[in-house]
C-alpha cells in the first residue's frame, strides 16, 4: 500500500477541522460556501454521496462564486465543477483548471462524522492522488 | 448535365493516362452554361440561375458553342451543320440531346399563358407571367408535375393539378403511398384532380388562356387557370438521329448498345435521348451519368468496363415538403414477392417493403418518412438485418429498428448517381479526418468521391457515416448525451421524465454504451439544457402529475441544473454581486411604483441604470440581500423580472394609438398582454419581443425574435429578428391578424421553437435553417399543416396555468430561501470579496483582478 503523506491521526484534532453544516443540509449537485479559518470554501455533495471542498474564489475573476457552479463528471470519472462566471471547469479532486492546468483551486480535506460535515486542512500541496485518498480516508472516520 | 458529365469524364480519362486531352466541341441550344436541371425548381428560392450552374470546364479544355442548334449530321462526311450554317467535322459524335416535353395536343395548347417546365428559360417565363395572376393549373401529377405545382404555389397562385391516372406519381408509388402523398399535398391548398383527362384549354376574348376543361369520369369540370403548365411527361429528342438515318425505337429513342454506340459506330447517344441496351429510355440523371461514363470509357480507353446494361430507377425527392421515395422493385412485380406495409393516415406516413420468398429485400415505397431511404435502397438484394416490419416502423416507435448506413456492407452502393460504395465513402471520411482536425463535411466527401453531388438523396447517409466515424459535428448535446436538444425534448415529453438523473440513467451515452464506467453526473452543457427543457415542460409535466403543485425552476434536484443566473434568479455581475431588474411589462409604470424602485435602490445602495428593454436595472446586490430586495418589490406589487436566463426577456413597445398621433393600435396593451402571457417561459435561448403601434416601427420590432407591428386592420407578425453581433431583420410571417390569431400564432411559434431548436440557438438561426423555409414554417404555424397546432398551444396553455412569481415563491419556501445564505456556517457575514468604490455619484465594483 502507498504511504499517505497526511497528518498523524493525533494531529487531526478539532483545531484542524471545522464543523460546517449537517450533511443533510447539502443538496446533491448544489454547492454551498463556508468560511473556514477566514477562507471562503466551496463545499459540494455529489449525486453519488461523495463530498468535495475547494476554494470558493474563482481565480479567473476574483469573485467568490465557485460554490454556485454546476458540478459534472467526465467520461473518465473525473468529478468537476464549472465556475458560473466564465465557465472554467475545475477538477474537484485536485483543484486543477482543466483547460489551464497551471491554475488551480485550493483543495481541502473534508469528512462526514455523525451527520456533520467537517472541512479540514488545505491539502493542495499534497500530491493529487493523495488529496483524493485523504478525502476518502477521512470520510471514513 | 449528361453531356457535361461525359466531357468531364473524357478529360479525366486523358489526364489519368497522361495523354493530351482530345479536342472537344460542345454544342448547346440554350444560351447558358450547363446547369443542374434536376434542381430546376430551386431557382424559385433565390431566382439566381448561377446557383444551378455545374462546375465550368477547365480553361481552354473544351470549346463551347452556344446557343447553337445542330440542324443536321452528315455521317458520310463526318460533319455536323448548325442552324446558322457552320460546319464542323468529327471523329466521334456524341448525342446528348435529352428530351422534349410532351404536350397533349388539345385545343389551344399553344395559347398565351401555356408553358412547359423543363428549362431555366421556362421557369423564368413562368415567374414573369405569373406576376399579378391568381390561378394556375399543372397538367401532369408525376414527379415533374408536382415540382411545377410547388413552383406555382410559391408564386402565390391557387394551384390545381390534373392527372389522368387515378393517383399521383403513378410510376413511383402505389395506391397506399399516393393516398398519403395526396392527403399531405391537399393540406397545402393544392387542388388535386386525379383520374381526370385534360380536354381543352379555354381562352378569353383576347385569346389568352383563362381556364382548362377536363373530363372526370362522365362529368366535365372547368378549372380557372391564368396559367397552364404542361408537365405530362417527356419524349426522347431523337429528331437529329432520325434525320441522319440512325436506328430509333418504335416509341422513340436512339437505339444504342451497352457501350452507348448507335447503329453508326462513330456516333454515341447518352441520356434521355437514348434507348438503352435493355430496351428502356431512362429519364433520371443517375442512369444518364452511367451512360456518360460508359461512353467516355469506351471512347477514351476502348474500355468496355463501364458498359451500361440498365439501371436502378430508385428516386427520393421532396415534393411540396413531402418526402417520397421509391426504389428497387417498388410494386413487387417479381414472381412470388410479398409486401409488408406500414400506414398511418393520421401522420400521413406510408411505408412499404417488397420481399422475395427467400427474405431478400426487393424494393419499397416510402412516403412522408423516407429518412432511411439510403440504407434501405442499398440493402436491395440482401437479407435485411432486421425483420421487415421492424424496419417499417417510424423512428422512435416502440420496436422500431434503425439500421443506418453504418450497418451496410462496404460494397453497398450509397450514391447511385456516381456509383460510389459505402466503403469508398468511409475511406474518404477517414482520410479527410487524418488530414485535418476540422470537422469532415458531406461537401468535402463529395469533392473527394463525387458521392452526394448528383441528386443529393444520399447526403443524409453520408452525414450519418461521418457522425458514426466520430469525425464530424455530432448533433449530440455533449459527451453525456448523443441526442440533440430537440431529441431530448421529445424523450422527456413523451416519457414524462421529471429529473435529470432519470434522463441520464435511461438515455445517457454511458447507459447506451454498456461496459463503460458509470458516469453519474452531467456537465455544465447538458445540465442547464435539460434544466431548461424540464422548465419549459414544467406546466405540462405538472398537469400530467395532477398534484396541482406549481413547478419552480429551483425545485429539488432541478435547482442543481440551473446555470449562473437562473441559479439564484438574478443576473450575476463581474464581482460576484447580482443585479435585479423588476418586471415593468411593456415599459408602463406608475409614478408610485417608480418611486418604490428608487427607494429600494437607495436603501440597498444599488447602482441604477435604465436598460435597453424599457426597464430599470439595479446593480451590486449581495446574494444574501436578494430575498430582502424581492420582499420589498413584492410588497409594492412588483415581481423581479427575467432579465436573465434563456426565457422571455421583455416586450418593448411604443406608446401606441392611445397617445401617439400616428398610432393605429394599442401597442402598449398588446405588449403588456404578451409579456404577462409568456413571462417565465424557458426556451433554448433568450426571447425578445416588441410591439409597434404603426408602420413607423418605433419599438424596433423587426429586430426581435417576435415582432408585432400594427396595421389598420390588425397586426403584422414578424419572427426571427435579431440585434446583437449578428443583426437580422425579422421575416414577415403573417399579416393583418386579429388579437386572437396573433396570440395563437405566437403561441405556436414559441412552442415549436422550444421543441425543435438546438441548445443556445436563437430564433434567427432556427428560422433560417427551418427545413422547407419560411413557407413551410408558415404552413405549419398558420395552416396547421402538420396537425400539431393543438399540441403546441397546449404547451403554452399549461405554462400559463402553472406560472408563479418565482421570486415570491422563494420567499415562501424556507428550503429555497436557505440557499441564499452567503456562508452556510455564517449566514449573515458579508462576502468580503464584494466591495465597491464611488463613481459619478453611484457605486462601481472594486475588482481584485483585471478584465479577463
Q: Is the CB of residue B824 less than 8 Å away from at least one CB of chain A?
A: yes
Secondary structure of B678-745 as H, E, C letters? HCCCECCCCEEEEEECCCCCCCCHHHCCEEEEEECCEEEEEECCECCCCCECCEEEEEEECHHHHHHH
pLDDT at B513 (0 to 100): 62
Pick A62's closest partner by Cβ from B521, B819, B848: B848
Residues B53-68 pLDDT 10s: 888 888 778 888 888 8
Distance CA(B623)–CA(B121), nearest Å, equals 68
Residues of chain B with CATH 3.50.50.60: 2-100+236-301, 103-232
Contacts of residue B819 in chain A, CB cutoff 8 Å? 30, 32
Check if CATH label 3.30.413.10 holds for domain B646-786: yes
Distance CA(B426)–CA(B429), nearest Å, equals 5
pLDDT at B233 (0 to 100): 87
Contacts of residue A77 in chain B, CB cutoff 8 Å? 517, 519
Distance CA(B74)–CA(B89), nearest Å, equals 9
Mean pLDDT of A73-84: 92
pLDDT at B718 over 70: yes
pLDDT at A141 (0 to 100): 38
Taking CA atoms, what residue in B is nearest to A43?
Answer: B824
Residues A8-54 pLDDT 10s: 444 445 568 999 999 999 999 999 999 998 899 999 999 889 999 99
Who contacts B499 (Cβ-Cβ below 8 Å, separation ≥6)?
Answer: B534, B556, B557, B558
CB B557, CB B602: distance < 8 Å? no
> Rounded to the nearest 5°, which phi and psi values hold at B535?
-70, -40
- Domain assignment present for A128: yes
Q: What's the pLDDT band for B389 if we cut at 50, 70, 90?
A: confident
Among 3.40.50.1970, 3.40.50.300, 3.50.50.60, 3.20.20.70, name the CATH number for the domain at B103-232. 3.50.50.60
Output B457 or B589, whichever has higher pLDDT: B589
Distance CA(B151)–CA(B41), nearest Å, equals 6
Could you say which residues from 482 to 511 on chain B have a Cβ atom under 8 Å away from some Cβ of chain A?
Answer: 501, 510
Q: What's the pLDDT band for B413 if we cut at 50, 70, 90?
A: confident
Name the average pLDDT for chain B. 89
Q: Is the CB of residue A124 less than 8 Å away from at least one CB of chain B?
A: no
pLDDT at A10 (0 to 100): 45
**Quick one: CA dihedral B517, B518, B523, B527, positive or negative?**
positive
- Domain assignment present for A57: yes
Residues B585-637 pLDDT 10s: 999 999 999 999 999 999 999 999 999 999 999 999 999 999 999 999 999 99
pLDDT at B510 (0 to 100): 75
Q: How far is CA B187 from the centre of its chain?
A: 18
Q: What's the pLDDT band for B403 if we cut at 50, 70, 90?
A: low
Helices B143-154 and B120-130: crossing angle in degrees, nearest 10, is: 40
Q: What's the pLDDT band for B465 if we cut at 50, 70, 90?
A: confident
- B559: distance to nearest CA of chain A, Å? 7
pLDDT at B490 (0 to 100): 92
- Domain assignment present for A48: yes
CATH architecture of the domain B405-474 equals Orthogonal Bundle (1.10)
Distance CA(B429)–CA(B439), nearest Å, equals 10
pLDDT at A104 (0 to 100): 92
Q: Is the CB of residue A92 less than 8 Å away from at least one CB of chain B?
A: no
Q: What is the ipTM of this complex?
A: 0.86
Question: Inter-chain contact B517–A76, Cβ cutoff 8 Å?
Answer: yes
- A39: distance to nearest CA of chain B, Å? 10
pLDDT at B793 (0 to 100): 96
**Interface probe with A: pick from B559, B824, B845, most Cβ of A within 10 Å:** B824
Mean pLDDT of B688-696: 96
Cell numbers for B594: 417608480
Q: Is the CB of residue B825 less than 8 Å away from at least one CB of chain A?
A: yes
pLDDT at B800 over 90: yes
Return the CATH number at A34. Answer: 2.102.10.10
Q: Which DSSP state fits B309? A: -
Output B227 or B402, whichever has higher pLDDT: B227
Residue pairs spanning A and B at CB distance below 8 A: 124
Mean pLDDT of B467-478: 70
Helices B591-604 and B626-635: crossing angle in degrees, nearest 10, is: 160
- A25: distance to nearest CA of chain B, Å? 9
Output A124 or A82, whichever has higher pLDDT: A82
Using alpha carbons, list the distances in angstroms from residue A110 to A44, A70, B321. Answer: 10, 19, 60
Question: Inter-chain contact A85–B847, Cβ cutoff 8 Å?
Answer: no
pLDDT at B444 over 70: yes
Contacts of residue B554 in chain A, CB cutoff 8 Å? none
- Domain assignment present for A131: yes
Distance CA(B380)–CA(B360), nearest Å, equals 7
CB B534, CB B492: distance < 8 Å? yes
Taking CA atoms, what residue in A is nearest to B830?
Answer: A35
pLDDT at B263 over 70: yes
pLDDT at B470 (0 to 100): 67
pLDDT at B754 over 90: yes
Taking CA atoms, what residue in B is nearest to A44?
Answer: B560
- For the beta sheet containing A89-91, the strands, ordered from the edge strand earlier in sequence to the opposite edge, are A70-73, A79-82, A89-91, A96-97, A100-104
Mean pLDDT of B813-821: 93
Q: Which CATH class is domain B312-403?
A: alpha beta
Q: Is the CB of residue B522 less than 8 Å away from at least one CB of chain A?
A: yes
**Quick one: CA dihedral B531, B534, B539, B544, positive or negative?**
negative
Q: What's the pLDDT band for B112 if we cut at 50, 70, 90?
A: very high
Question: Inter-chain contact A43–B824, Cβ cutoff 8 Å?
Answer: yes
pLDDT at A1 over 60: no
Cell numbers for B75: 455521317
Q: What's the pLDDT band for B401 if we cut at 50, 70, 90?
A: low
pLDDT at B427 over 70: yes
Q: How far is CA B36 from the centre of its chain?
A: 21
Q: Is the CB of residue B479 less than 8 Å away from at least one CB of chain A?
A: yes
- CA distance from start to end of chain A: 19
Taking CA atoms, what residue in B is nearest to A18?
Answer: B825
Q: How far is CA B699 from the centre of its chain?
A: 31
- Among the ranges given (B137-151, B249-263, B508-522, B673-687), the one the predictor scored with the smallest mean pLDDT: B508-522
Pick A68's closest partner by Cβ from B479, B516, B567: B567
CATH code of the region B2-100+236-301: 3.50.50.60
pLDDT at B41 over 70: yes
pLDDT at B66 (0 to 100): 84
- Among the ranges given (A49-58, B69-78, B384-393), the one the predictor scored with the smallest mean pLDDT: B384-393
Q: Is the CB of residue A89 less than 8 Å away from at least one CB of chain B?
A: yes
Contacts of residue A18 in chain B, CB cutoff 8 Å? 825
What are the DSSP E strand ranges found in A23-138? 32-36, 39-45, 51-55, 70-73, 79-82, 89-91, 96-97, 100-104, 107-113, 116-122
Contacts of residue A68 in chain B, CB cutoff 8 Å? 564, 567-568, 572, 623
pLDDT at A2 (0 to 100): 42
pLDDT at A127 over 50: no
Taking CA atoms, what residue in A is nearest to B557?
Answer: A28
pLDDT at B850 over 60: no
pLDDT at B212 (0 to 100): 93
Output B95 or B311, whichever has higher pLDDT: B95
Using alpha carbons, list the distances in angstroms from residue B752 to B160, B758, B782. Answer: 30, 12, 12
Question: Inter-chain contact A27–B560, Cβ cutoff 8 Å?
Answer: yes
> DSSP string spanning B1-20?
-HHHHHHHHHHHHHHHHTPP
> Rounded to the nearest 5°, which phi and psi values hold at B242?
-60, -50
CB B553, CB B539: distance < 8 Å? no
Q: How many helices (H) and strands (E) does chain B have?
A: 26, 37
pLDDT at A3 over 70: no
- B649: distance to nearest CA of chain A, Å? 20
Taking CA atoms, what residue in A is nearest to B849?
Answer: A62
Q: Is the CB of residue B840 less than 8 Å away from at least one CB of chain A?
A: no
pLDDT at B414 (0 to 100): 81
B414 backbone φψ class: left, alpha, beta (φ>0; ψ -120 to 50): alpha
- Domain assignment present for A1: no
Pick B833's closest partner by Cβ from A19, A46, A62: A62
Q: Which domain holds residue A57?
A: 19-139
Q: What's the pLDDT band for A125 if we cut at 50, 70, 90?
A: low
- Domain assignment present for A68: yes
pLDDT at B546 over 90: no
Domain count, chain A: 1
Distance CA(A46)–CA(B539), nearest Å, equals 28
Residues of chain B with CATH 1.10.10.1100: 405-474
**Interface probe with A: pick from B476, B557, B825, most Cβ of A within 10 Å:** B825
pLDDT at B514 over 80: no
Amino acid at each position: 500500500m502507498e504511504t499517505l503523506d497526511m497528518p498523524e491521526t493525533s494531529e487531526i484534532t478539532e483545531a484542524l477541522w471545522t464543523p460546517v453544516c449537517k450533511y443533510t443540509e447539502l443538496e446533491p449537485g448544489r454547492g454551498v460556501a463556508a468560511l473556514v479559518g477566514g477562507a471562503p470554501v466551496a463545499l459540494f455533495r455529489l449525486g453519488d454521496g461523495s463530498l468535495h471542498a475547494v476554494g470558493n474564489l474563482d481565480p479567473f475573476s476574483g469573485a467568490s462564486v465557485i460554490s454556485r457552479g454546476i458540478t459534472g463528471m467526465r467520461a473518465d470519472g473525473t468529478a468537476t465543477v464549472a465556475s458560473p462566471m466564465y465557465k472554467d471547469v475545475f477538477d474537484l479532486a485536485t483543484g486543477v483548471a482543466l483547460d489551464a492546468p497551471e491554475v488551480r483551486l485550493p483543495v481541502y480535506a473534508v469528512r462526514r462524522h455523525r451527520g456533520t460535515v467537517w472541512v479540514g486542512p488545505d491539502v493542495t500541496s499534497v500530491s493529487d492522488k493523495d488529496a483524493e485518498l485523504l478525502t476518502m480516508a477521512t470520510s471514513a472516520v | 448535365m449528361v453531356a457535361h458529365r461525359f466531357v468531364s469524364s473524357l478529360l479525366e480519362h486523358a489526364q489519368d493516362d497522361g495523354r493530351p486531352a482530345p479536342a472537344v466541341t460542345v454544342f448547346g441550344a440554350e444560351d447558358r452554361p450547363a446547369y443542374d436541371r434536376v434542381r430546376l425548381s430551386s431557382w424559385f428560392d433565390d431566382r439566381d440561375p448561377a446557383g444551378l450552374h455545374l462546375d465550368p470546364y477547365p480553361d481552354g479544355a473544351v470549346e463551347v458553342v452556344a446557343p447553337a442548334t445542330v440542324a443536321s449530321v452528315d455521317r458520310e462526311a463526318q460533319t455536323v451543320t448548325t442552324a446558322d450554317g457552320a460546319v464542323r467535322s468529327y471523329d466521334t459524335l456524341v448525342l446528348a440531346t435529352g428530351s422534349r416535353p410532351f404536350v397533349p395536343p388539345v385545343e389551344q395548347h399553344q395559347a398565351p399563358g401555356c408553358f412547359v417546365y423543363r428549362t431555366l428559360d421556362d421557369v423564368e417565363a413562368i415567374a414573369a407571367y405569373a406576376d399579378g395572376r391568381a390561378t394556375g393549373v399543372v397538367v401532369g401529377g408525376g414527379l415533374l408535375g408536382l415540382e411545377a405545382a410547388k413552383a406555382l404555389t410559391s408564386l402565390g397562385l391557387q394551384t390545381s393539378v390534373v392527372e389522368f391516372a387515378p393517383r399521383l406519381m403513378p410510376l413511383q408509388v402505389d395506391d397506399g403511398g399516393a393516398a398519403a402523398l395526396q392527403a399531405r399535398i391537399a393540406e397545402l391548398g393544392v387542388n388535386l384532380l386525379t383520374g381526370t383527362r385534360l380536354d381543352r384549354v379555354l381562352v378569353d376574348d383576347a385569346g389568352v388562356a383563362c381556364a382548362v376543361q377536363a373530363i372526370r369520369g362522365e362529368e366535365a369540370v372547368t378549372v380557372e387557370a391564368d396559367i397552364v403548365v404542361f408537365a405530362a411527361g417527356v419524349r426522347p429528342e431523337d429528331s437529329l438521329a432520325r434525320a441522319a438515318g440512325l436506328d430509333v425505337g418504335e416509341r422513340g429513342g436512339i437505339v444504342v448498345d451497352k457501350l452507348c454506340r448507335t447503329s453508326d459506330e462513330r456516333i454515341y447517344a447518352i441520356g434521355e435521348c437514348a434507348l438503352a441496351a435493355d430496351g428502356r429510355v431512362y429519364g433520371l440523371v443517375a442512369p444518364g451519368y452511367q451512360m456518360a461514363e460508359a461512353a467516355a470509357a469506351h471512347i477514351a480507353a476502348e474500355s468496355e468496363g463501364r458498359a451500361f446494361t440498365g439501371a436502378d430507377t430508385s428516386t427520393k425527392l421532396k415534393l411540396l415538403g413531402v418526402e417520397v421515395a421509391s426504389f428497387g422493385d417498388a410494386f413487387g412485380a417479381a414472381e412470388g414477392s410479398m409486401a409488408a406495409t406500414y400506414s398511418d393516415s393520421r401522420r400521413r406516413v406510408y411505408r412499404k417493403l417488397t420481399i422475395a420468398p427467400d427474405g431478400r429485400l426487393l424494393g419499397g415505397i416510402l412516403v412522408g418518412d423516407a429518412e432511411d431511404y439510403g440504407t434501405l435502397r442499398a440493402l436491395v438484394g440482401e437479407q435485411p438485418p432486421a425483420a421487415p416490419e421492424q424496419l417499417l416502423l417510424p423512428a422512435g416507435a416502440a420496436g422500431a429498428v434503425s439500421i443506418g448506413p453504418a450497418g451496410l456492407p462496404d460494397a453497398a452502393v450509397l450514391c447511385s448517381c456516381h456509383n460510389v460504395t459505402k466503403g469508398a465513402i468511409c475511406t474518404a471520411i477517414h482520410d479527410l479526418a487524418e488530414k485535418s482536425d476540422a470537422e469532415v463535411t458531406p461537401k468535402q466527401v463529395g469533392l473527394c468521391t463525387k458521392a452526394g453531388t448528383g441528386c443529393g438523396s444520399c447526403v443524409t447517409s453520408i452525414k450519418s457515416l461521418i457522425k458514426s466515424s466520430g469525425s464530424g459535428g455530432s448533433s449530440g448535446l455533449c459527451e453525456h448525451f448523443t441526442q440533440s436538444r430537440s431529441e431530448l425534448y421529445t424523450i422527456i415529453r413523451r416519457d414524462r421524465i421529471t429529473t435529470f438523473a432519470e434522463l441520464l440513467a435511461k438515455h445517457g451515452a454511458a447507459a447506451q454504451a454498456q461496459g463503460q464506467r458509470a458516469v453519474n453526473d452531467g456537465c455544465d452543457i447538458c445540465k442547464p439544457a435539460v434544466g431548461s427543457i424540464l422548465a419549459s415542460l414544467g406546466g405540462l409535466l405538472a398537469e400530467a402529475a395532477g398534484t396541482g403543485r406549481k413547478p419552480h425552476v429551483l425545485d429539488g434536484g432541478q435547482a442543481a441544473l440551473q446555470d449562473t443566473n437562473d441559479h439564484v434568479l438574478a443576473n450575476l455581475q463581474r464581482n460576484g454581486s447580482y443585479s435585479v431588474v423588476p418586471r415593468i411589462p411593456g415599459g408602463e409604470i406608475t409614478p408610485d411604483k417608480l418611486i418604490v424602485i428608487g427607494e429600494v435602490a437607495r436603501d440597498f445602495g444599488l447602482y441604477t441604470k435604465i436598460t435597453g428593454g424599457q426597464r430599470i436595472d439595479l446593480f451590486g446586490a449581495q446574494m444574501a440581500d436578494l430575498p430582502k430586495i424581492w420582499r420589498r418589490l413584492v410588497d409594492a406589487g412588483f415581481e423581479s423580472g427575467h432579465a436573465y436566463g434563456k426565457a422571455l426577456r421583455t416586450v418593448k413597445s411604443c406608446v401606441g394609438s392611445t397617445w401617439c398621433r400616428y398610432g393605429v393600435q394599442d401597442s402598449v396593451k398588446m405588449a403588456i398582454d404578451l409579456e404577462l402571457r409568456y413571462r417565465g417561459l424557458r426556451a433554448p435561448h433568450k426571447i425578445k419581443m416588441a410591439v409597434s403601434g404603426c408602420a413607423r416601427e418605433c419599438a424596433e420590432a423587426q429586430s426581435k425574435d417576435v415582432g408585432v407591428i400594427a396595421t389598420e386592420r390588425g397586426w403584422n407578425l414578424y419572427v426571427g429578428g435579431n440585434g446583437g453581433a449578428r443583426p437580422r431583420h425579422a421575416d414577415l410571417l403573417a399579416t393583418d391578424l386579429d388579437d386572437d390569431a396573433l396570440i395563437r400564432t405566437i403561441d405556436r411559434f414559441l412552442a415549436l421553437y422550444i421543441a425543435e431548436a438546438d441548445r443556445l440557438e436563437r430564433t434567427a438561426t432556427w428560422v433560417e435553417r427551418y427545413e422547407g423555409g419560411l413557407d413551410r414554417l408558415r404552413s405549419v404555424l398558420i395552416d396547421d399543416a402538420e396537425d400539431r397546432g393543438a399540441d403546441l398551444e397546449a404547451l403554452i396553455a399549461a405554462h400559463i396555468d402553472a406560472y408563479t412569481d418565482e421570486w415570491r415563491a422563494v420567499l415562501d419556501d424556507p428550503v429555497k430561501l436557505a440557499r441564499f445564505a452567503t456562508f452556510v456556517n455564517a449566514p449573515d457575514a458579508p462576502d468580503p470579496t464584494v466591495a465597491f468604490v464611488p463613481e459619478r455619484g453611484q457605486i462601481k465594483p472594486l475588482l481584485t483582478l483585471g478584465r479577463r
